[in-house]
């Protein structure tokens, strides 16, 4: 099998070639050729136009200084699939089941007891039980150990409906937005309700977002010397819930300024989109609306996962961009498996 | 007066010129000219050699991937002067006195009462009282408002001994280290016990470190809608003390991986230097030792501000680089006033 070069390299090469061709034609006094579409997976429509208009406004001669160009992206349901359950919830369940198999006495522990009695059924495991399981399975590991666990799991786990690795259940149109904004000197951050160490395990290879540009929910950290080396361990202390008002609060703590663009898909992104869209100058606030049951999922006001109701109403009032997956996205998922280092 | 271009632009221009000259000479079959010294304010010695050796080792063909190149710098006493009192403490006192003048009834409030009775004398204001004053003066402002206050203060405040703005009381040799490492694709972070919003107000213009690469002590943040706009306000809740073990813990939270290089000057940097230096591969852990009373200050084991005792002992045991300001630094402060955008 011929290795496929990462998508970004291929596109960069095409763009450079197009640029060189334009320069050459201009030197011959001829009209430049049409510029390549930076959003080929987007159908023409209001959403695509809003994104391109924003990118042009910020990047214009009188646009925002490069230092101010910050864009924030929710992860679950915005950059990758969150149905039938959050991917991190599946990781937690798989990890907890593995721990139970290796150490059956754990079943005496409350969070594991709930899992043991639930069996393969998830319905009796509510969000609180899942949170307790996440704490129990993640605690007392260092972030590097956690990363290794997540990566090993992502190698073998498959999405129950699509049958592919979860890192292929990412949205090709959003990858193009990430790339477009980076090309305009934006720093792209993930601001997710998911666990920060979980996301950091794959964000660089999957989205090109480095660990220090991932903000997420977190517990405590404890530094200690262990066998002559300094290590930071995760602790089960309550930390920060990066959802709702927690998102702009964590943006203030981690980034220290109001971003220019925000991308979300659920009520948990409402405050982040408000915060970003009510600043001055060119702004972009965008919601991905999951309305494509045949190619992905259709859900909004009544969904347990990724409920979109208050934010959908506010989008209409404030003029935010609402993306119809069905109508605005030509493709949903990347065509080819994605290697590391995109 | 002819405007002086920022130092970095000038140096970059020189380097580029030298590079072009080398290429030209090489094409003519002649030996390349000597490379410009990237650390001109450092005297030749073990400290300078250790820094250059580290930069070469990381940047070598088999060195660390660019993504892994993270360097962390303490601020007070490492990048700028911290005597006779922390610059932020001076800001807090000046700000509190101004608030008292504008609103005399504040003197009934405990933290302000302590200040009012202390008058110009600082000795009766201990660290706890100062902390309470900082909370009282910083709370209920948004980070942008705080930044504006800090910048206005930095415009007019002068160091009591050197008579120049505090942003000129920064260490020229450390600016050269920041620049050298950035030239090797490092991301340079500040990890300081100081307040994160205080440092963010000047870090970009003074050190070239953007707000999202500043980690510091913090209180709480509260998001709310105010007059139709989303704002994040600072609250007096206890948050994170970014000192001692808090430094590696916050590095785990904000950066998500072990940095390759750490620079500090006091016992508050001990755990950060341990954490960084006990990783694998090329590492640099460096302590600035203030031993130059004539050009700056001389203090270590007995100082109230910036005490250096345990970390000095550990440096000897672990082979960390200890910089003698007196012997290793040819100059201490930048020669010319520094404009924004270095």
**pLDDT tens for residues A231-259?**
999 988 878 999 999 999 999 999 999 99
Q: Is the model's pLDDT at A22 over the cut of 50?
A: no
- Band of pLDDT at residue A21, cut at 50, 70 and 90: very low
Q: What gap in Å lies between CA A191 and CA A208, rounded to an integer?
A: 14
CB contact under 8 A, A255 and B211: yes
Q: Residue ranges of the alpha helices (H) in chain B?
A: 7-27, 46-59, 87-102, 110-118, 127-138, 143-156, 172-183, 196-200, 203-207, 246-254, 270-277, 310-318, 325-328
Please list every residue in chain A whose beta carbon sits closer than 8 Å to the beta carbon of residue B231. Answer: 275
Pull the structure tokens for residue B266.
Answer: 């006091």
What chain B residue is nearest to A70 in terms of C-alpha separation? B212
Instruction: Kindly report the average pLDDT of chain A as a whole number.
Output: 87
CA B330 from chain centre, in angstroms, equals: 20
What are the tens digits of pLDDT across the range B63-81? 788 888 999 999 999 999 9
Q: Average pLDDT for residues A137-161, to the nearest whole number?
A: 89
Please list every residue in chain B whose beta carbon sits closer than 8 Å to the beta carbon of residue A143. Answer: 252, 256-257
Q: Residue ranges of the alpha helices (H) in chain A?
A: 7-27, 46-59, 87-102, 110-118, 127-138, 143-156, 172-183, 196-200, 203-207, 246-254, 270-277, 310-318, 325-328
What are the tens digits of pLDDT across the range A93-116? 999 999 999 999 988 888 888 888
As a whole-number percent, the residues of chain B with pLDDT over 90 amount to 69
Contact of A210 with chain B, judged by CB distance below 8 Å, is answered with yes
What chain A residue is nearest to B271 in terms of C-alpha separation? A230
Supply the CATH classification number for the domain B38-84+167-328. Answer: 3.40.50.1000
As a whole-number percent, the residues of chain A with pLDDT over 90 amount to 69
Q: Average pLDDT for residues A138-149, to the nearest whole number?
A: 83
CB contact under 8 A, A223 and B257: no
What are the tens digits of pLDDT across the range A117-128? 776 666 656 777
Mutate which: A202, A218, A224, A232, vs B, most B CBs within 10 A: A232
Q: Average pLDDT for residues B265-275, to the nearest whole number?
A: 98
- Band of pLDDT at residue A34, cut at 50, 70 and 90: low
Tokens 């050197």, located at residue: B162
Q: What are phi and psi of A245, to 5 degrees?
A: -60, -20
Cβ pair B274, B50 in contact under 8 A: no
Q: What are phi and psi of A218, to 5 degrees?
A: -150, 155
Q: Is the model's pLDDT at A11 over the cut of 80?
A: no
The model's pTM: 0.88
Q: Is the model's pLDDT at B223 over the cut of 50?
A: yes
ipTM over 0.90: no
- Each domain of chain A, given as residue ranges in start order, spans 39-84+168-328, 87-156
B306-331: buried (b, 16+ CB within 10 Å) or exposed (e) per residue?
bbbeebbebbeeeebbbbbbbebbee
pLDDT of residue B151: 96
Mutate which: A239, A252, A277, A340, vs B, most B CBs within 10 A: A252
Q: Is the model's pLDDT at B336 over the cut of 50?
A: yes
What chain A residue is nearest to B273 in terms of C-alpha separation? A230
Supply the CATH classification number for the domain A39-84+168-328. Answer: 3.40.50.1000
Q: What is the maximum alpha-carbon separation in chain B?
A: 80
CB pairs under 8 A between A and B: 106
Bridge partners (DSSP) listed for residue B70:
B187
* Side-chain half-sphere exposure of A168, counting CA atoms within 13 A: 17
Q: What single-letter DSSP state applies at residue A294?
A: T
What are the tens digits of pLDDT across the range B106-157? 888 888 888 887 766 666 567 778 888 888 887 778 878 889 999 999 999 9
SS3 B4: coil
CA distance A316 to chain B (A): 16
Q: What single-letter DSSP state applies at residue B232?
A: E
CA A308 from chain centre, in angstroms, equals: 17
């Amino acid at each position: 099998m011929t290795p496929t070069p990462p998508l970004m390299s291929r596109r960069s090469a095409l763009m450079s070639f197009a640029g060189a061709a334009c320069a050459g034609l201009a030197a011959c006094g001829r009209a430049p050729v049409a510029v390549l579409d930076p959003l080929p997976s987007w159908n023409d429509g209001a959403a695509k136009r809003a994104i391109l208009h924003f990118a042009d406004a910020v990047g214009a001669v009188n646009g925002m200084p490069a230092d101010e160009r910050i864009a924030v992206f929710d992860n679950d349901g915005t950059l990758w699939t969150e149905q039938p359950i959050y991917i991190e919830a599946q990781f937690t369940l798989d990890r907890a089941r593995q721990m139970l198999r290796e150490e059956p006495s754990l079943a005496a522990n409350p969070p594991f007891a709930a899992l043991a009695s639930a069996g393969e059924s998830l319905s009796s495991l509510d969000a609180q039980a899942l949170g307790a399981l996440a704490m129990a399975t993640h605690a007392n590991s260092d972030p590097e150990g956690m990363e290794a666990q997540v990566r090993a799991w992502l190698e073998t786990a498959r999405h129950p409906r699509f049958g592919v690795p979860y890192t292929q259940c990412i949205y090709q149109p959003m990858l193009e937005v990430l790339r477009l904004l980076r090309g305009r000197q934006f720093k792209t951050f993930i601001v997710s309700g998911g666990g920060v160490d979980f996301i950091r395990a794959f964000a660089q290879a999957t989205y090109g977002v480095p660990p220090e540009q991932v903000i997420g929910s977190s517990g405590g950290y404890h530094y200690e010397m262990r066998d002559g080396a300094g290590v930071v361990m995760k602790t089960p202390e309550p930390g920060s819930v990066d959802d709702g008002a927690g998102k702009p609060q964590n943006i203030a703590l981690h980034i220290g300024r109001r971003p220019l663009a925000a991308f979300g898909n659920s009520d948990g992104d409402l405050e982040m989109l408000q915060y970003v869209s009510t600043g001055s100058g060119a702004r972009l606030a965008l919601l991905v609306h999951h309305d494509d049951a045949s190619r992905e999922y259709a859900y909004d006001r009544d969904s347990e996962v990724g409920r979109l109701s208050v934010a959908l109403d506010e989008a209409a009032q404030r003029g935010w961009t609402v993306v119809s997956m069905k109508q605005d996205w030509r493709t949903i998922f990347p065509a080819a498996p994605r290697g590391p280092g995109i």
